[in-house]
Structure 1
């Protein structure tokens, strides 16, 4: 990874977070909780993938339609996130695979 890639990634992240800050406060709170949850158990390619920007697109559409954030996703944020990543390989899957090997063998 070159320095240009790092700088481009930071610019992309700042633009992303500016979109989050432009959302109403209730949307921001839910987004940050979703982000925290997804970074713990979410898909392995989350930082580079399209999921987080797609969530913001979805939220911006909800704001434009005049809906509250809980009208869009329901009361269980974790269940909504789990449904988003149900077909993706997650960090939890990778961890389970690493500990389910034969005793005395190391995963490489």
Structure 2
């Protein structure tokens, strides 16, 4: 990764966060909670993938429709996030595979 790639990545991230800050306050709060949750349990390609910008697109549609964020996604934010990443490999999945692949010595 070159310095130019890092700079471009930072520009994209700042533009993304500017979009988040333009959302209504309730949407911003839920987005930040979703982001925190997804960075803990989310897919491997989260930082570079389309998920976070897609959430902002989705939220902008909710704002345009005049809906509150919880009306739009439901009351259980974690369940909504889990549904978004259900088919994506996560770091937890990779860890579980590595642990199950090296079995044999722990139980003896």
Structure 1 position 35 matched with structure 2 position 35? yes
Aligned to 2:19: 19
Aligned to 2:98: 98
Deviation for aligned residue 1:104: 7.3
Structure 1 position 60 matched with structure 2 position 60? yes
Structure 1 gap segments, 5+ residues each: none
Q: Secondary structure at the match of 2:63?
A: helix
| Aligned counterparts, 1:65-76, within 5 A | 65-76=65-76
TM-score w.r.t. length of structure 2: 0.93
How many residues are treated as equivalent by the alignment? 105
Distance 1:18 1:64 in 2: 17
Greater shift, 80-89 or 94-103, is seen at 94-103
Structure 2 gap segments, 5+ residues each: none
- Per-residue CA shift, 1:58-104, capped at 9, x if unaligned? 00010011000001110001100000000110111011112112247
Aligned to 2:47: 47
Greater shift, 95-104 or 33-42, is seen at 95-104
Q: Give RMSD over aligned pairs.
A: 1.3
- Per-residue CA shift, 1:10-67, capped at 9, x if unaligned? 0000000000000011000000000001011111000000000000000001001100
